[in-house]
Amino acid sequence: MIKRFGLVLLLFLAACGQEQQDPVLTSELTSPVDVTLHWRPEAGAAGQVVEYANAADGEYTILEFSPSSRDTYKHPDLIPETQFYYRVRPFTGPPSATVDVTLPPGDEVPEIEGPDWTAAVKGGGGTHAVSSPESAAAGLRAEVKHANGILFTWEDRAADEDGYLIEVKPAGAADYRVAVQLDPDTTSYGVITLPDEKTATYRVRAFRFGAPSNLTHQTTGKV
């Protein structure tokens, strides 16, 4: 019995040692006020959510929804002599079909007259788990409202989503980026576009967060 207990203890310690040696997330100070993160992407995830707080048990703020092709993030120009805690979380969920949008020339954003078409609208009622391909939003439509505004509408088919993402891939870009994070059951939202989004491809994604990674901690230096 003693020998068996000793073997179990050794295996447990070895597993703990492996976890400590091979964390999902690591970080480094690349200057006194710049932190660079590196992580191991989770297989099958749509990407990773990068988050930070100023205390280990503090309120975490999302820095970026990174695509699955990326495994690093630079957090620049931070407050000197301050603690920063980081974690990443995978997010999953099937994307909708895409729509291509070409906006007319111009850079003005006119004032909205009448109802606010940019406001999020909730009309949920989906019945499919986000883990199912059938939860992908259906019927995505894009209505150009002006030279820098697009109204997106879609059918919510997900039942357990943490929210929706509107994702954009500007012409010439290598990958999609998240333009907007929305609440669960959203079926409409108006986007005011960025200058590089005059011609772009869009999609929406019902998503769920996965479990957070290990925490990594850095304290910025003096400048």
What pLDDT is attached to residue 113? 87
In this predicted model, what pLDDT tens digit does every residue of 13-57 receive, in sequence order?
Answer: 445 544 455 799 999 999 999 999 999 999 999 999 999 999 999
CA-based angle 104:108:111, to the nearest 5? 115
Q: Which residues of 129-167 are buried (b: 16+ CB within 10 A; e: fewer)?
A: ebeeeebbbeebebeebeebbbbbbbbbbbbebbbbbbb
Check if the beta carbon of residue 143 is closer than 8 Å to that of residue 157: no
126 with 73, same domain: the answer is no
The tally of domains found in the chain comes to: 2
Number of Cβ atoms within 10 Å of the Cβ of 197: 22
114 with 194, same domain: the answer is yes
204 with 215, same domain: the answer is no
191 with 205, same domain: the answer is yes
44 with 61, same domain: the answer is yes
Query: Across all residues in the chain, what is the average pLDDT?
Result: 92
103 with 82, same domain: the answer is no
70 with 172, same domain: the answer is no
194 with 214, same domain: the answer is no
215 with 204, same domain: the answer is no
138 with 186, same domain: the answer is yes
Check if the beta carbon of residue 171 is closer than 8 Å to that of residue 103: no
117 with 48, same domain: the answer is no
Number of Cβ atoms within 10 Å of the Cβ of 12: 10
- Domain that residue 172 falls in: 99-209
Q: 172: pLDDT confidence band, cut at 50, 70 and 90?
A: very high
In this predicted model, what pLDDT tens digit does every residue of 114-156 receive, in sequence order?
Answer: 899 999 999 878 999 999 999 999 999 999 999 999 999 999 9
pTM: 0.86
47 with 82, same domain: the answer is yes
Q: In CATH, what number is assigned to the domain containing residue 15?
A: 2.60.40.10
